[in-house]
């Protein structure tokens, strides 16, 4: 796994945006051979989306032949609720770029048959030929998408109960009212993310330091589902300095040293 340590949130977001744009451009996508991008929500990727929007506006990347698959969605929250992940994605990314509506895939947390919805989502990813690059964030407890601690590291898209930690963390989007936070979500599995050709995670701030430490220095464990990335051939975490607060000095220096000449 690569760990890119940038000085602050702005520079890590720029690094990630440039990386994603470069990957899309290198693939030279066409309608017959689109680029398949996995998309996260949360506050961590906001800077990355802003960076991609800027690159798009400067004409340095196009999303015309990009197909997206989002990581997750709350169950039971109306699609037009301001905190639904549908609303998040259109507000913060899709409505600012030239993506085609039909190329956007987000799990429907209001589907009548949630299990069927999850199975069809997996099928849609497969039929598209798999995900080229899955972008993501990390929950403070080390979860990826909504794969809470204890999730199988080979899990696929499914319904997941949210832990108290996540409900508390996400209550900031619901006026800090725990009762307003949905209790369940649909999420791609750890296995779904692991099947992507590449995974790029953004991680910033001191409150992610324990999760980053577990991801990099800990063993592979279902209790820190992000740690599954240690088994991925092409995984990158790009973080800021404060997210490194729990890393050993030697780990920090090692990654600084090996990455110093890279993009
Ligand atoms: C939610 C999302 C995750 C995200 C996490 C961290 O739980 N399902 O995909 O990584 O929040 O969010 P933030 O970036 O706001 O800290």
Structure tokens at 71: 């990581």
Q: What is the pLDDT of residues 10-24, one digit of tens each?
A: 999 999 999 999 999
pLDDT, average across residues 173-186: 96
Report d(CA 144, CA 208) in Å as an integer. 12
Q: For 129, how many CA atoms within 13 A lie in the half-sphere containing its CB? A: 10
Contact 76, 107 (CB under 8 A): no
Contact 202, 133 (CB under 8 A): no
pLDDT, average across residues 158-174: 93
CA-nearest residue, atom 3 of ligand 1? 145
Q: Which pLDDT score, from 0 to 100, does residue 197 have?
A: 98
Q: What atom in ligand 1 is closest to the CA of residue 208?
A: 16
Q: Which pLDDT score, from 0 to 100, does residue 261 have?
A: 78
Q: For 257, how many CA atoms within 13 A lie in the half-sphere containing its CB? A: 6
Ligand 1 pocket by C-beta < 6 Å: which residues? Answer: 40-44, 71-72, 137-139, 145-146, 166
What is the torsion angle, in degrees rounded to the nearest 10, for the CA atoms of residue 101, residue 103, residue 109 and residue 111?
A: 90
Q: Which pLDDT score, from 0 to 100, does residue 71 have?
A: 98
Buried b (16+ CB within 10 A) or exposed e, 151-161: bebebbbbbbe
Q: What atom in ligand 1 is closest to the CA of residue 44?
A: 14
Q: How far is the CA of 20 from the centre of ligand 1 (A)?
A: 19
Q: How far is the CA of 249 from the centre of ligand 1 (A)?
A: 27
Probe residue for ligand 1, chosen from 12, 16, 38, 41 as the CB with the greatest number of ligand atoms within 8 Å:
41
Q: What atom in ligand 1 is closest to the CA of residue 166?
A: 7
Structure tokens at 182: 């949905």
Q: What is the pLDDT of residues 71-97, one digit of tens each?
A: 999 999 999 999 999 999 999 999 999
Q: What is the pLDDT of residues 219-257, one digit of tens each?
A: 999 999 999 999 999 999 999 999 999 999 999 999 999
**Edge-to-edge, what's the strand order for the sheet holding 158-161?**
72-74, 184-187, 158-161
Q: How far is the CA of 128 from the centre of ligand 1 (A)?
A: 25
Question: Has 8 been annotated as catalytic?
Answer: no
DSSP letters for 91-103 = HHTGGGS---GGG
Question: Has 141 been annotated as catalytic?
Answer: yes
Probe residue for ligand 1, chosen from 40, 146, 201 as the CB with the greatest number of ligand atoms within 8 Å:
40
What pTM was computed for the model?
0.96
Question: Has 96 been annotated as catalytic?
Answer: no
Q: What burial class does residue 197 get, using C-beta atoms within 10 Å of its C-beta: 0-12 exposed, 13-18 middle, 19+ buried? A: middle
Q: Which pLDDT score, from 0 to 100, does residue 263 have?
A: 57
Question: Has 165 been annotated as catalytic?
Answer: no
Which residue among the candidates 143, 195, 198, 240 is catalytic per the annotation? Answer: 143
Q: How far is the CA of 54 from the centre of ligand 1 (A)?
A: 23
Q: What atom in ligand 1 is closest to the CA of residue 162?
A: 7
Q: How far is the CA of 134 from the centre of ligand 1 (A)?
A: 14
Q: Is the pLDDT of residue 149 over 80?
A: yes
């Amino acid at each position: 796994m690569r760990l890119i340590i940038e000085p602050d949130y702005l520079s890590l977001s720029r690094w990630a945006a440039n990386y994603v744009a470069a990957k899309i451009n290198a693939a030279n996508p066409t309608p017959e051979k689109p680029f398949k991008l996995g998309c996260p929500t949360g506050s961590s990727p906001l800077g990355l989306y802003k960076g991609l929007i800027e690159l798009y506006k400067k004409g340095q990347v196009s999303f015309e032949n990009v197909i997206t698959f989002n990581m997750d969605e709350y169950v039971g929250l109306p699609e037009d609720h301001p905190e639904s992940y549908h609303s998040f994605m259109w507000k913060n990314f899709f409505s600012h770029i030239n993506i085609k509506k039909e190329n956007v895939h987000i799990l429907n947390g209001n589907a009548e048959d949630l299990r069927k919805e999850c199975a069809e989502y997996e099928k849609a990813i497969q039929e598209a030929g798999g995900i080229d690059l899955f972008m993501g964030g990390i929950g403070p407890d080390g979860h990826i998408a909504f794969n809470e601690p204890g999730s199988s590291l080979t899990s696929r898209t499914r319904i997941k109960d949210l832990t108290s930690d996540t409900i508390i963390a996400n209550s900031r989007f619901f006026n800090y009212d725990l009762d307003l936070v949905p209790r369940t979500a649909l999420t791609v599995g750890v296995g779904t993310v692991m099947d992507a050709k590449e995974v790029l995670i953004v991680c910033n701030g001191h409150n992610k330091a324990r999760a980053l430490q577990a991801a990099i220095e800990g063993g592979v464990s279902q209790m820190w589902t992000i740690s599954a990335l240690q088994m991925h051939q092409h995984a990158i975490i790009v973080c800021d300095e404060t997210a490194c607060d729990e890393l050993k000095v030697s780990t920090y220096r090692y990654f600084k040293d090996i990455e110093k000449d890279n993009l």
